[in-house]
Structure 1
Amino acid sequence: MTTGDYDHNVGSSSGSARPGSFHRRLLIETLKQALRLAEAMVEKKAIDPVLLEVTDFVSYGDYLLIATGTSRPHVEALVEACTAEAAAQGMTVLNSEGRETCRWVLVDYGEVLLHVFQPNERGYYDLEGMWLDAKPIEIPGAEPSSYPAGFVAS
């Protein structure tokens, strides 16, 4: 699904908490920002990046961007790439957690929430499994996720 294809579907769910054309325009702009962050992670070789629209389920954000880094330096590089891209887009970091250990880093950009995990943590917390009803958004250049719902790393 491309951003252009998404323009016609965004916010159209009958259960949307924030319907209307203004919200659709805002959501489309936020989607473009989220896709730019995702593309920055793809360039840094993120493992299994996933972008989920959660607009109909939560009030604190519209998109979850989830990815895996292979090591602490890789997680740091992914987070830094997103932070640099977000700054270039005028996005603000509202909060950030987990950078001390880089096992699971959460960065809150407002309407886009970034989760970057090391492999064991991603499998253990299984955010994709928690958000099975969320709408997945295709990330250009990314390989489809190999993490099945309910996956727990040993």
Structure 2
Amino acid sequence: MAASTRAVELALAAGAAAQDKMANDVVALDVTTQLALTDAFVIASAPNERQVSAIVEAVQERLSQLGCTTLRQEGLREARWVLLDFGDIIVHVMHSEDRGFYDLERLWKDCPRLGVPPTSA
């Protein structure tokens, strides 16, 4: 089973919002076959805590415009690895150092990628 149309829509919107705030290496993964908890992960990174926070705010604002609210969030105070749970998708915004260390793409390497198009900024 593949990610729902709504999950793909939200993942692509979250990815675009992250890119608008200059996030690095934005990736969206369809995790439906590996995880019953959600349909997609979006992973983005930034070189400092301030930018991580700005990306989180932009993602929440963009998904709010699509009628989606954050069900849970963790890590915003430290802004090293912020997890945003929107139900259909989970967004991970990580400090670049932490992203390299945890290497989530390697852990979820069997999951198909959803195409997050590059921004034309």
TM-score category (smaller protein): over 0.9
Q: CA deviation at 1:70?
A: 1.4
Q: CA deviation at 1:120?
A: 1.1
SS of residue paired to 1:78: helix
Which residue of structure 2 lines up, in the alignment, with residue 128 of structure 1? 105
Which residue of structure 1 lines up, in the alignment, with residue 52 of structure 2? 75
Which residue of structure 1 lines up, in the alignment, with residue 78 of structure 2? 101
Equivalent position to 1:61, from 18, 24, 38: 38
- Aligned partners of 1:115, 1:29: CA distance in 2, in Å? 18
- Aligned partners of 1:30, 1:134: CA distance in 2, in Å? 15
Which is greater in Rg?
1
- Contact 2:8 2:114 (C-alpha < 8 Å) held by counterparts: no
- Aligned partners of 2:69, 2:20: CA distance in 1, in Å? 21
Unaligned runs of 5+ in 1: 1-10, 13-23, 143-154
SS of residue paired to 1:110: coil
Cα deviation, 1:86-140, whole Å, max 9, x if unaligned, reads 1111112111000111010001000110001111110111110100100011111
Unaligned runs of 5+ in 2: none
1:86 corresponds to 2:29: no
Q: Using structure 2 for the length normalisation, give the TM-score.
A: 0.93
Report the residue type matching 1:36 in the other structure.
Answer: A
Q: How many residue pairs align between the two structures?
A: 119
Matches within 5 A, 1:3-152: 11=1, 27-141=4-118
Identity, in percent, stands at: 34
Give RMSD over aligned pairs: 1.3
Q: Which structure shows the bigger proportion of residues in strand conformation?
A: 2
Larger RCO: 1 or 2 (CA < 8 Å, sep 6+): 2
Q: CA deviation at 1:50?
A: 0.5
